[in-house]
Chains A and B, each alone.
Chain A
Amino acid sequence: MSIIVDNDPLDQVDGSASFEFGATKVMSSVTGPIESARPRNELPTKAYLDINIRPSSGVPSTRETLLEHKLGQLLPAVINLDQYPRQTIQIAVQVLKNGEPKDYTARQLVAIINSVFVALINSGISLKSSFMATCCSINTKGEIKTSPTSSDLANSVSHFVVVYSIKDQQVDNLLFCDGLGTFKQKQLFDVLDHAASEIHLSFQHIRQVISSHVSHNYIWKA
């Protein structure tokens, strides 16, 4: 799987990144901590996450709301929200290329999570750990395929999005797992193993991109 990450392409937001793998491309931005626009969004002990996802074409629908909800489940586990009481952290995502059939969201969710991670790093918001997502599909023969293409997904019986945290360059905790379709317990465990080794390989590249961006920002240190 070839990954292309563009680090901090936008300059009005605090952190941004685009993530492209195969036919899917997503641009994410993070702004915060900023003043809450509405008093009812102020949480007394932690930051409020304002997540906003836009599809590549058409107006946002329940499909985007579902993706927003999934992202909203994952992020509190990795951001130190309690460091920013009463503030808002605004996360805006624009899907640029779907890269999968209309009824699927797996590839987009992976690209969203990974681009948001790089954008969060760029924004300087306090994180508990690094994390990365990948997706797998199981076809009719029971074979597991990591990073399935559009046609792999269309011919699969089930597909999964898996997110692991990364500690000391090693895959650590399972943060999020979302499966759709029919599968057996053993298959699920196999999928988790496959995903972990896939993430272990791909994260090297993400780390490389982040490091080169940091050294670019401190160009006078060279």
Chain B
Amino acid sequence: MSIVIPGDQFTLETGSEVVLGPNLQTSDSTASPTTAGYLVQTQAGSSSLAYVEADSKRYMPAAQDFVVGTIVGSFGEFYRVSLTNFSTPAVLGFYAFPNASKKNRPRLKTGDLVYARVASVDPDLDVELECFDATTGKEGGFGHLEGGFLFEVRLAYARYLLRHQDAPTPYKTPSNV
């Protein structure tokens, strides 16, 4: 894997379908990175995959990511959830919990921690979170987190922990905050 920076050009293989991952921009058949990181090009089935693996401190939400957020308020039928300090908060519906109904829903207070899944991301809309498993509609381990402490780590390290079962940490917590 090589380290690339913005402005570096590389040609994409024509003929097969190419899937572009994060941190890449294209013009015609050349691609160039938008930030500095490791360039990864792999084959995934019939299509090839290219992306730049880059580290940063500010989390940019991406759909289906598992995140830990802090409730910072509520409006209408939504909680506002802060994923990173000073970023635009995401929203979590009152009924985005398993088996939630008007009478039976979790009552979360400002400052509570929730473990959630990013449901949808659109740069023009608020980021939406959900606290249930997308395939089964069941609990899936999401929801209010009680006790313990929240550690902030760099994003590259958070991804490393999530991907490696044998990561050298005493206690593993999925954290994107």
Which residues of A does B touch, CB under 8 Å?
14-15, 31-35, 80, 83-87, 121-130, 165-169, 172, 207, 210-211, 213-215, 217-218, 220-221
State A82–B169 Cα separation when bound (angstroms).
Answer: 39
Q: Which residue of B lies closest to A126 (CB)?
A: B34
- Closest Cβ of chain A to B165, distance in Å, is 14
Which of chain A's residues have a CB closer than 8 A to the CB of B123? 83-85
Q: Would you give 26 A-B contacts (Cβ < 8 Å), ordered by A?
A: A15-B57, A31-B86, A33-B60, A35-B86, A85-B124, A87-B88, A121-B5, A121-B36, A123-B57, A124-B35, A124-B54, A124-B56, A124-B60, A127-B34, A128-B25, A129-B7, A130-B5, A130-B6, A165-B7, A167-B7, A210-B3, A211-B3, A213-B36, A214-B37, A214-B38, A218-B53
Which of chain B's residues have a CB closer than 8 A to the CB of A220? 160
Which of chain B's residues have a CB closer than 8 A to the CB of A217? 55, 154, 156
- Closest Cβ of chain A to B107, distance in Å, is 26
* Total CB contacts across the A-B interface at under 8 A: 97
Contact with A along B57-68 (1 / 0, CB 8 A): 110100000000
Q: Which residue of A lies closest to B56 (CB)?
A: A124
Q: Which residue of B lies closest to A13 (CB)?
A: B57
Pick the contact of B5: A87, A123, A210 (CB < 8 A): A210
Pick the contact of A34: B34, B37, B88 (CB < 8 A): B88
Q: Are B87's CB and A207's CB within 8 A?
A: no
Q: Are B55's CB and A218's CB within 8 A?
A: yes
Q: Are A221's CB and B58's CB within 8 A?
A: no
Q: Which residue of B lies closest to A207 (CB)?
A: B5
State A204–B57 Cα separation when bound (angstroms).
Answer: 26
Max chain A Cβ within 10 angstroms of own Cβ: one of B7, B86, B156: B7
Query: A167-B7, A215-B3 known; A33 and B58 CB under 8 Å?
Result: yes
State A124–B35 Cα separation when bound (angstroms).
Answer: 6
Query: A35-B89, A125-B35, A126-B35 known; A80 and B156 CB under 8 Å?
Result: no
Q: Are A121's CB and B7's CB within 8 A?
A: no
Q: Are A168's CB and B56's CB within 8 A?
A: no
Taking the complex as formed, is B8 at the interface, i.e. its CB lies under 8 A from any CB of chain A?
Answer: yes
Q: Which residue of B lies closest to A167 (CB)?
A: B7
Taking the complex as formed, is B175 at the interface, i.e. its CB lies under 8 A from any CB of chain A?
Answer: no
Taking the complex as formed, is B99 at the interface, i.e. its CB lies under 8 A from any CB of chain A?
Answer: no
A35-B87, A125-B35, A126-B35 known; 6 new pairs, CB 8 Å cut-off, are: A33-B87, A80-B25, A121-B6, A213-B36, A214-B55, A217-B156
Contact with A along B147-158 (1 / 0, CB 8 A): 000000010100
